[in-house]
Amino acid sequence: MLSRIRRKDKGFTLIELMIVVAIIGILAAIAIPNFLNYQCKAKQSEAKSNLGTIRTSQEAYYAEKDSYGGALTDIGFATKGNANYTYGLNASGTGTSAAFTATAGATGGGKLVGDTWTIDNTGALANLTNKCQ
């Protein structure tokens, strides 16, 4: 008979639920900006990798022609899929005075807008406008 009189409430109170929601909100406020920054840096690796490929292709072209290719199609470079960057190439001179600069500029929207990378014939990779801090 005593067990019928005693009633045990089950569940959470509104205060407990509000505390959990507040904790989740604080964790999200910390985690989301960090995630977006890591995502931005991962996309930048596309530019670095492709610029390295362009440089390697340019060196192979130079070994055959004694000058650098003036267009990406000359050296056989093309991107596949949805690229985050567009690529350009500027070459000049022949023989020992030959030089080139390849650029990668971010396309689309998001945090990468305006992000620009370059590489030259010496292999110097530079980020002119870093949008991922």
pLDDT band at 21 (very low <50, low <70, confident <90, very high): very high
Q: Which residue has the tokens 């567009």?
A: 86
pLDDT per residue over 68-118, tens digit each?
A: 998 999 999 999 888 889 999 999 988 888 999 999 998 876 777 788 999
DSSP label of 101: E
Question: Domain boundaries in the chain?
Answer: 13-129
CATH topology of domain 13-129: Glycoprotein, Type 4 Pilin (3.30.700)
Q: Which of 64, 56, 44 is nearest to 113 (CA)?
A: 44
Positive or negative, the Cα torsion across 31, 46, 119, 52?
Answer: positive
Q: What is the pLDDT of residues 22-49, one digit of tens each?
A: 999 999 999 988 888 888 888 889 999 9
